[in-house]
Amino acid sequence: MALSLEFELVTKEKDIQAVYDHNIDAFSDSPDFKWNLQEIKNEIKGGWELYSVSHEGEIVAALFVSEVDNGLYTKNTGLKMHHQGSGFSHEIKEFYEKLAREKKLDRIVHYCRIDNFRMYSLNESHGYRKAEKPIDEEGLVVEWTKVL
């Protein structure tokens, strides 16, 4: 499938601000992600790369990726509501796989909340396997792994 989404690595302060500003209404109350400017900057300082995901000029999601121990670690915001059901989540999964293969990594590790059943279904349909137990102290974050 040809990707209809555009993925842009965001590194400049003004672009980080633009991603935050553009998405604040969509993601500020998302249970999957702490969407505030300081948390975004903390993630980047912690070694995560921020990608803006756009369709026809509109930012529809934000992704974080990090390369650790020959794996591509990933997490993302949900899609804006009016884009859900569009197939964009599948395109994001394909982007992760393409990026991991380009970097010659051997696996993709994705994080999502334990109650995000749409992501469970998506992960399973793309060949990811769920870890036995949540990875955080609160028991809310689940790790999924796909071996390439």
Q: pLDDT digit string (tens) for 77-130? A: 877 777 777 889 999 999 999 999 999 999 999 999 888 888 899 999 999 999
Q: Work out the pLDDT band at 15, boundaries 50, 70, 90.
A: confident
pLDDT of residue 31: 46
Q: Which of 114, 76, 82 is nearest to 95 (CA)?
A: 76
Contact by Cβ (8 Å): 64, 43: yes
- Name the one residue in this structure whose structure tokens are 């500003």: 21
Q: 37-45 and 13-27 helices cross at what angle (nearest 10)? A: 130
Higher pLDDT, 94 or 137: 94
Task: Supply the mean pLDDT for the chain.
Answer: 87
Please name each of the domains of the chain with its CATH number: 6-147 (3.40.630.30)
pLDDT of residue 29: 42
